[in-house]
Structure 1
């Protein structure tokens, strides 16, 4: 860690040339290529597969529910296992776990060529979710560990996330083009060369974890089970609210079960001798503020995207192609915004950059909630503001979480960042879908609405946008409050140094 910026007390001897961290992104080019490939897989995977769902449904005779599980099982397994596998990586080695995950990804992707039933495809998607849980958190942890200086860490994370977001943006277009002349299996087989590139880059460019960077505490099996159950239920519940509706008891029972599991998880972690997740670490100001900012961005991006997509097509009558074009402002900002992150952080610092980006997210939601019903220009402004805020938060929040943790807990910290985003993404969609279901009468997907239904929809969009604004503001406000307690971290006290922050 940068000595002057973070106030670390330098007691050890100066590093040797062999152990010296890279002084530029160019020096770490091989490692960054591998880490970027990992994030590309995560972003490209579902976006490129969604285009092929109709084709998969026809060829495998899959129902709508089965097709939903083709994509949904990946997210549920990915989100549910991140904490447990992140804790494992902090014990046996981040690089080792990531390399094993990349082998699993390659093998599972190759197995796609032999799929003959939807159930087989779902099993392969579950295996890919396991691979993602083994590799994605490690990409942030290893990128952070690769450099000693915060500025290089921010630039490296920006580069990695930009590669992934490019994959997210071009995935549907590339997928549609490939389907014009190739079978749908090719869209998953593309993960094989990505996994190979990532394996080579990480194997050659990143050294194995040192003994002092790991810890040997026993794995908290009960905590892992409770944590996984909590996250899985939390990810499944929003889908049930949207699909089954608020009148069905199933989503409410699932939500209740998620809350019960969460309470039991907290009780277990507070009493365990060797907890899976040390709640004292989560309570550290840098960690809790970073997670709050990331959660606000995930909630806003998912909820706003869901509402705008419905509004463009159902209320304003745009075709799917026109709606895709209408979402371009968000895509452009997510990709091009990476060039602004470094200068912004250099000018105002990590803490103020996080506050500003969280403010942009909340302002974007407020613009949409108050004005989005009056025309596309307001929806576009909201998309730009939320995307700009999310783009900065994605880098700065993750960096802050890593800065606030001991070196032997960074992978589970990265898993927390991804978990916060995954869970609040589901919550954003659930809040929006639940308010629409409560305020709109009739079938929302019908080809023609009455004047009364149009009014109901627009009122529902307004209330959903405002509800998301309040939730994001609460999360962002909490993040700012927590971050202020370390705003003077450039000149910390010796006590803070001893605490690792």
Structure 2
């Protein structure tokens, strides 16, 4: 893209900015799934218990989901370049520590620190896109590449984790982040800082209430993997989350002079609709990744590397549809793309739900993988544009944190619900006399069917999104910013 900028900040080197955003988004989403196939090797070498092993995944999820709102707001307060470098440093050091861990506690602590770094990096990456690139086709194309990087990172995590674990060592699923961090940090000097002239104070009370509330909610969800939904631990976590988040809303509405989240943003149909749709979309997406991975390894008996290669259609579909969505969103608006994408994704998961014990890659996996990924991948660009494109620049980090929180919490909730559904269905099938593999497959298929239902619900909710492209982001003076159309990436 041609360089452009103000006299105060100098020209913006869009190519370098885009490279940083793509690298960060790919890395953050990669680490949500890259450890999955390495878990058995970690347990064998470090001596994890079965319950303790879950925290290699849950520690990242819990901290990532709990601190996203705070991470987004910090980017608005301290400047995007400074926060980007801080997040990269934390993520890189945590990855190095995890790769060198010698005990279970060390690895879990490193994963938690990675989650904190990701909670800073994910919203700042989206903020950089929505504030650095001019509205119109340039921003849409940048959002397309951001979305493609995130989708490819999530799908490629299984592939990369399998290959590294089988042919090198499980430690490389964490150490691979270090060179990515170094390169992104070097290119980070081209990112516009965006530091406010008058630095507002951090809403400490809101930060404590919001972070603690989200952390309690995510903790309660991830605990459902070992505790029943009606257990005292689970209900206690959900009760605490309800109290904390209710207090957060009340304080932000009336008590905060400079709130962590401006609740008035939710009065905008585009913002509220995008966040709620993302919540349901992520619920179905996480289920597809999780249960297809289990099906490949537990039922079809694929090794880590082969299971990873089997995820290539997901990567291709997500990347392709995200890039295509960036070309069409300006013409169609978010409503059409999201509604169509979620329905296509639901059709793919419905097809996936017909998995069988004697399935094959070509007959059972390839087709539904492409349909599911092409549908879901088309949704992220329009949702990101709707959620962040019309808020003032000084609140862009806040809006980015909200959307990322919706994605993370939605994914955790959806996975917990579908795991419960799968477990119950498998138990019933076994009681009816099905073989262990048939019962397992039946549970996975029912969970994927549940994921399809979640995507249909997302399609219905997406109808509240604007039917045409949102207006350009307001400037500080409140007037709509001019939308350049002559720029090219």
Residue 225 of structure 2: SS of its match in structure 1? helix
Paired residue for 1:360? 344
Q: Deviations over 1:331-353 (max 9, x none)?
A: 33113334422333254344432
- For residue 319 of structure 1, the aligned residue among 279, 287, 301 is 301
Q: Which one is further off, 302-311 or 461-470? A: 461-470
**8 Å Cα contact 1:367/1:382 also seen in 2:** yes
Match in the other structure for 1:345 = 329
> Equivalents in 1 of 2:402, 2:71: separation in Å?
11
Structure 2: 5+ residue stretches without partners: 483-489
Residue 460 (structure 1) shift: 5.9
Match of 1:267 in 2: 250
- Corresponding residue number in structure 1 for 2:273: 289
- Cα displacement (A) at 1:428: 1.3
C-alpha separation in 1, matches of 2:230 and 2:473: 53
**Displacement, 1:449?**
8.1
Q: 2:207 aligns with which of 208, 224, 231?
A: 224
How far apart are residue 134 of structure 1 and its match?
A: 1.5
Question: Structure 1 length normalisation: TM-score?
Answer: 0.81
Does 2:133 correspond to 1:150?
A: no
Residues 123, 20 of structure 1: CA spacing in aligned structure 2 closer, same or farther, 3 A cutoff?
A: same
Report SS of the residue matched to 2:25: helix
Aligned residues: 471
- Looking at structure 2, the residues matched to 461 and 173 of structure 1 have their Cα atoms a distance apart, in angstroms, of 20
Q: 1:255 to 1:500 in 2, by over 3 A?
A: farther
| Deviation at residue 262 of structure 1 after TM alignment | 2.5
The within-5 A match list for 1:73-472 is: 73-112=59-98, 114-179=100-165, 182-203=168-189, 205-211=190-196, 216-246=199-229, 248-274=231-257, 275-310=259-294, 317-321=299-303, 327-365=311-349, 382-441=368-427, 450-451=433-434, 464-465=447-448, 467-472=450-455
CA–CA distance in structure 2, aligned partners of residues 21 and 85 of structure 1: 27
Q: Partners in 2 of 1:384 and 1:469 — Cα distance?
A: 15
| In structure 1, C-alpha distance between the alignment counterparts of 2:377 and 2:73, rounded to whole Å | 27
Q: Deviations over 1:130-186 (max 9, x none)?
A: 111111210110012111132111211222333444444444444444445655434
**Is residue 19 of structure 2 the alignment partner of residue 33 of structure 1?**
yes
> Is contact 1:137–1:415 with CA below 8 Å preserved after alignment?
yes
Contact 1:79 1:419 in 2 (8 A): yes
Please give the per-residue CA displacement for 1:302-334, whole angstroms capped at 9, x wherever unaligned: 1233444455666xx421347656654433311
Q: TM-score, normalised by structure 2?
A: 0.83
CA distance in 2, matches of 1:167, 1:64: 27
Two-structure CA RMSD over aligned residues (Å):
3.7
